[in-house]
Amino acid sequence: MDQVSKVSVLRYDPDKDVSPRYEQYEVPFSDGMTVLEVLKYIYDNYSPIVFRYGCRIKVCGSCSVMMNNRPVMACKEKAEKVMTIEPIPVLPTIKDLAVDFDAFFDKRVKIRPFIEPPKKKIELPRQLSYDVVNKYRECETCVECLICDAACPVVAKTPHLFAGPCTMLEIARLYRDPQDSGDRIRLAVSEGLFNCDLCGKCTEMCPVGIKIHRVIDELQQLARKQEPMVNEKASGHRVEINVDKEGLR
């Protein structure tokens, strides 16, 4: 237990600080320790840093942070001996590592993330084939931790042109629900579907293992078929991003 982890945390208190700053802490390190345990150690023993967590088992999706420039779920990610911890960049920061989930809520409302009334009344329990259910299930396991958005190079560069993988996944979930009568494909296009380059960073980082870029790929194919007029050109500015060159962020 003599090992230590040198941790640098981005601190920012909007009521007091002129600008954000990094503060260094030394935390006793043991193998298998998670980022969450490191943060809690700092909170208990050094300074009341602000960060969020809830369930500890990857279901509430509230503990996402950037660790050494990678978006990670603090309750799952193993700590390293030298770490820089920052808030995830896709939502406005409120204080230290806590970001404003209200902004996410507002963004969600925009895509009408609820079942648009079906054309005819549905009897309960719904008659659903096993295949439909299985496809639906893929999108449903999302915990809205926003790690995919934080990993997305398109969102990092042009957030106004692409709503992000998390939004696309939600649109796909609604599309895959047979009782929804909304035109989700057109919605996806207007949210920047074709600005996704299918680079797969979202899938790589997803803590619950959803193949997000495959889901987006399927949406793109559907959109090409359903609305040949509303395809790449219609979504306006195409963004060129070279993932290899620019790395993650």
User: Tokens 């420039």 correspond to what residue?
Assistant: 69
103 touches other proteins (CB under 8 A): no
Report the b/e string of 8-25 with b at 16+ CB within 10 A. Answer: ebbbbeeeeeeeeeeeeb
Q: Map residues 23-62 to x or -, x wherever contact with other proteins holds by CB under 8 A.
A: ---------x-x-xx--x--xx--xx-x-xxxxxxxxxxx
129 touches other proteins (CB under 8 A): yes
19 touches other proteins (CB under 8 A): no
128 touches other proteins (CB under 8 A): yes
4 touches other proteins (CB under 8 A): no
Q: Map residues 166-205 to x or -, x wherever contact with other proteins holds by CB under 8 A.
A: --------x--x-xx-------------------------
CA-based angle 243:247:172, to the nearest 5? 55
Element (H, E) at 215: helix 212-226
2 touches other proteins (CB under 8 A): no
108 touches other proteins (CB under 8 A): yes
Task: Kindly give, in sequence order, each residue whose CB lies less than 8 Å from that of residue 98, ignoring residues fewer than 6 positions away.
Answer: 50, 51, 52, 87
CA-closest candidate to residue 205, choices 130, 128, 150: 150
Spatial separation of the C-alpha atoms in residues 79 and 59, rounded to whole Å: 20
Dihedral class, residue 64 (left if φ above 0, else alpha if ψ from -120 to 50, else beta):
beta
Q: 117 vs 236, which CB is nearer to other proteins?
A: 117
User: For binding to other proteins (CB under 8 A), which residues are involved?
Assistant: 13-16, 32, 34, 36-37, 40, 43-44, 47-48, 50, 52-62, 75-76, 94-96, 98, 100-102, 105, 108-109, 112-115, 122, 124-130, 133, 136-137, 140-144, 174, 177, 179-180
